[in-house]
């Protein structure tokens, strides 16, 4: 019998790629999103257009058991969370709680083991290490993590928290995040505004690597006894924004005009936490940036 997976945020950048990947690996895939679902010709895919803040609709979705639930949906832009904090709390904290509670209950009713993967942010690791300051977005993710840990019932399911750094490399990639926003400006011959903080080196990872990591985590969860919570911080290639611009000049073969903006940050108290980091090398990073550039200029459709 095919294993079933429920993916929230299924119409988004990472979610749509996960749907495609699990379908190609023989899973029965169910997706949830407030938007219309992705289309896969000649492949049966079950899309549920709804908002998981609605607890009644979520209860209806869990009228069956799912072997795996991957939770991605919510507000993902730092600026959106800052401008709409109430909405961020509802979408990122309340929705996560509703989803997890109902999945717990379903596993109990059907007396079947489950696996829940919560997609969080690597920004939390940097905050705990004292290398960056919290944002409202990171606070909602941190709160969600703590709620999941408190509601976690090891006799019912496995819980994995996967903290992602900045993901790039697809047509649905967030146009307001680096490196996509830089590539778009380079394409239109626009000047870039670059922060010069030497202490901050954002971490970037290609979409294909993210999908592979999440899939591996889900496969490992099937075989592990549900006895502990796994927190995995996924970090790709670290690069200051000025170094990133230099790489993009190589990738695009264009002269890039940019203005350096000086910034300062207050640092939080350092804390030690367990982390598992995946790093990619600089050569691979440049190759993946080139793939992104080719997608943007329409070379690879």
pTM: 0.86
Of the two residues 173 and 148, the one the predictor is more confident about is: 148
pLDDT in tens, 222-236: 655 656 788 888 878
Decide if pLDDT at 178 tops 70.
yes
Decide if pLDDT at 30 tops 90.
yes
The CATH number, out of the four listed (3.40.50.720, 3.10.50.40, 3.30.450.20, 3.40.50.2000), of the domain defined by the range 4-168+204-234+266-281:
3.40.50.720
pLDDT range class, residue 53, cuts 50, 70, 90: very high
Question: How much is the average pLDDT of 71-97?
Answer: 93
DSSP state at residue 297: T
pLDDT in tens, 163-176: 998 899 876 667 77
| Range list of β-strands (E), 130-180 | 157-164, 166-168
DSSP state at residue 9: T
Average the pLDDT over each of 15-24, 64-73, 189-198 and give the range with the smallest value.
189-198
DSSP state at residue 254: S
Decide if pLDDT at 275 tops 80.
no
Please state whether the peptide bond connecting residue 179 to the residue before it is cis, i.e. omega within 30 degrees of 0.
yes
Percent of the chain residues past pLDDT 70, beyond the cut: 86
Torsion of CA 6, 11, 17, 19, to 10 degrees: 30
Torsion of CA 192, 193, 198, 199, to 10 degrees: -120
pLDDT for the residue 281: 72
The closest alpha carbon to 68, from 110, 154, 111, 5, belongs to: 5
Question: How much is the average pLDDT of 156-185?
Answer: 84
d(CA 253, CA 149): 48
- What are residue 120's phi and psi, to 5 degrees? -115, -160
> In this structure, are residues 204 and 236 in contact, taking their beta carbons and an 8 Å threshold?
yes
pLDDT for the residue 90: 95
Tokens of 3: 């294993």
pLDDT for the residue 161: 95
Tokens of 263: 């910034």
What are the beta bridge partners of residue 117? 70, 160
Own/partner contacts of 280-285, CB < 8 Å, gap of 24 or more, are 280/205, 280/206, 280/209, 280/236, 280/237, 281/237, 282/237, 284/206, 284/237, 285/204, 285/206, 285/236, 285/237, 285/239, 285/247
d(CA 71, CA 256): 38
Which residues, in sequence order, are CB contacts of 241 under 8 Å at separation 6+?
178, 194, 195, 196, 202
Give the mean pLDDT of the chain. Answer: 85
Question: How much is the average pLDDT of 194-214?
Answer: 83
pLDDT range class, residue 285, cuts 50, 70, 90: confident
d(CA 272, CA 275): 9
Average the pLDDT over each of 23-32, 115-124, 280-289 and give the range with the smallest value.
280-289
Most confident of 1-5, 100-104, 177-181, 237-241: 100-104
What residues does each domain of the chain span? 4-168+204-234+266-281
């Amino acid at each position: 019998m095919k294993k079933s997976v429920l993916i929230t945020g299924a119409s988004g950048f990472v979610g749509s790629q996960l749907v495609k990947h699990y379908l190609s690996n023989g899973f029965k895939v169910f997706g949830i999103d407030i938007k219309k679902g992705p289309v896969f010709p000649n492949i049966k895919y079950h899309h549920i257009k709804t908002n998981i803040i609605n607890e009644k609709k979520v209860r209806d979705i869990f009228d069956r058991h799912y072997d795996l639930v991957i939770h991605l949906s919510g507000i993902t832009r730092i600026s959106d969370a800052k401008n709409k904090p109430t909405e961020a709390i509802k979408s990122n904290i309340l929705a996560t709680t509703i989803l997890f509670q109902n999945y717990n209950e379903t596993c109990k009713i059907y007396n079947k083991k489950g696996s829940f993967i919560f997609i969080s942010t690597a920004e939390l690791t940097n905050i705990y290490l004292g290398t960056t300051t919290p944002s409202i977005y990171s606070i909602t993710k941190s709160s969600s993590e703590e709620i999941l840990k408190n509601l976690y019932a090891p006799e019912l399911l496995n819980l994995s928290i996967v903290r992602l750094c900045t993901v790039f490399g697809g047509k649905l990639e967030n146009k307001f995040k680096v490196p996509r926003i830089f590539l778009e400006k380079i394409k239109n011959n626009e000047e870039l505004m670059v922060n010069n903080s030497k202490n901050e080196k954002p971490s970037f990872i290609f979409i294909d690597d993210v999908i592979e990591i999440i899939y591996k985590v889900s496969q490992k969860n099937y075989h592990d006894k549900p006895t502990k919570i796994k927190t995995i911080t996924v970090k790709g290639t670290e690069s200051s924004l000025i170094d990133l611009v230099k790489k993009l000049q190589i990738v695009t073969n264009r002269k890039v005009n940019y203005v350096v903006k000086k910034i300062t940050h207050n640092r939080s108290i350092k804390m030690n936490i367990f982390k598992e980091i995946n790093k990619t090398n600089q050569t691979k990073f440049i190759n993946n940036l080139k793939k992104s550039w080719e997608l943007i200029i329409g070379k690879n459709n």
